Amino acid sequence: MRKPVFAAIALVMMAAVAGANDHGGGPERGPGGPGPEGHAIVGSDGTLYLTSESTSNGTTTVTVKAIRSNGSTAWTATLPAGARRLELSDGNLLTVTSATASDGTIASTLTAISTASGATAWTKSIAGRIGELAPFNGGTYVFVTVPATTSGGSAAHSIVAVDNNGNTLWTVTP
């Protein structure tokens, strides 16, 4: 009698450990699921924003789908090529792309996708590589690094405050 009980307890414990360590597998993980890392964003109105990737002929396309709290799909939008992560900032989903020129300079583009419609609300070009995005009431702080190869002897860092319409409020170098 003890062996089956201990076996059942051990099996439940192994399943719990696997689930806690994210080894549960399944279609919800990885590209093609609800996000490249299985991450979802939930808006204050309960809308769920899910990303998915598809690759055809060597080209990867990333889309985001807005699912309202009643389960209906509000819209689906294609992210810019090379887009990294999404960040929710008031009524926009923000994404970043970067390009390095032959001289080593880096240009990043911040793209805002309207959470109401899925349309591109605005884009903003910023010199340097955008790192962290930190939303605040009324906009987003954008943390930028210009590598040493283009700024002189050491990397230059700045914080750019961008409002919800894509306008620069201020820039500071810490």
Query: Which of left, alpha, beta for 24 (phi over 0: left; psi -120 to 50: alpha)?
Result: alpha
- pLDDT by residue (tens digit) across 35-55? 444 468 999 999 999 998 888
157 part of a folded domain: yes
9 part of a folded domain: no
12 part of a folded domain: no
- For residue 125, the enclosing domain spans 24-172
How many domains does the structure of the chain reveal? 1
116 part of a folded domain: yes
What is the reported pTM? 0.74
Instruction: Output the furthest CA–CA distance in the chain (Å, rounded).
Output: 74
Mean pLDDT of the chain: 82
137 part of a folded domain: yes
Mean pLDDT of 83-100: 92
134: CATH: 2.40.128.630
Residue 58 pLDDT level (bands cut at 50, 70, 90):
confident
- Percent of the chain beyond pLDDT 70? 75
Task: Tell me what pLDDT residue 75 has.
Answer: 97
Mean pLDDT of 144-156: 79
11 part of a folded domain: no
102 part of a folded domain: yes
Is the pLDDT reported for residue 86 higher than 80?
yes
Q: What six digits make up the tokens of 113?
A: 């996708």
107 part of a folded domain: yes
